[in-house]
Amino acid sequence: MSAPRIAIPVPHSTDAAYNARSLPQYLHAIEAAGGIPVEVPLSASPAEVARLAASCQGVLLPGSGADVDPEKYGHPRIPACNATDPAREAVDELLMQDAANLDKPLLAICFGFQSWNVWRGGTLIQDIPTQHPTSVNHAPGRTIVDAHSVTIEPGTRLAAIVGHDTPADPLPVNSSHHQAVDQPGDRLRIAARSREDGIIEALEGTSEAFVLAVQWHPERSYDADPASRALFAAFLAAASTWKPRSVVESVAVSGTAADAAR
């Protein structure tokens, strides 16, 4: 079986330094787990994004220095909300639609996690320090390996992948975010919360399709952390066996019913 191709949008449309720092880590994790990363330029036309997506068996939505536009979840912008990146959001939406339409495996990380939740109709906390001032520091940065711990919900896909599914067995994670999920979107369930303050740290889909979103950065800790490697291994395993679900056109269904009635 050939290695699965994974569509990954370039993280930011204007911050070249962020891309140079972050994108190689995602590419390395995909390749090390047995996949072929396919970079999706944020300047690509919708037709080009669709062509690249059609050539891939999975979608990875990476982090970004931008914030999702609050208008998309019906909240007024607060001063602490970062600038948006419309080009990244547009590409994300095309890739998310492709994944949803075809039950294609999807792994979303940090900004990608938030982007996916909003696309599914969920909402965000725009700034944790402002709106939840008693929370732990969720943005110590990429140099802090174990920023805090998360408690994983028993019986979830995430628990099956990495274990640590009891309060007595939390999973230490890195952390570089100032926003977080507030209300989960449609057909998404909470898979993990911050042990210290209850902030949502992971969501997953409620269908059989592989849909997993985490707030931390497993690509940064891939080489050193077994749980991070397990996340990418599970994602690539799902992509390697993915087959597009059957889509029956309504016209064809109507015609079949009419023929049967004759």
DSSP string, 49-118: HHHHHHT-SEEEE---SS---GGGGT-PPPTTSPPP-HHHHHHHHHHHHHHHHHT--EEEETHHHHHHHH
Active site residue 217: yes
Active site residue 219: yes
What is d(CA 224, CA 229) in angstroms, rounded to the nearest whole number?
Answer: 9
Residue 183 pairs in a beta bridge with none
Active site residue 110: yes
What is d(CA 67, CA 211) in angstroms, rounded to the nearest whole number?
Answer: 21
Q: What are the φ and ψ backbone dihedral angles of 18, each rounded to 5 degrees?
A: -65, -45
Other CB atoms within a 10 A radius of the CB of residue 114 amount to: 28
Which of 12, 89, 110, 138 is catalytic? The answer is: 110
Beta-carbon contacts of 251 under 8 Å, excluding residues fewer than 6 positions away, are none
The catalytic residue positions are 110, 217, 219
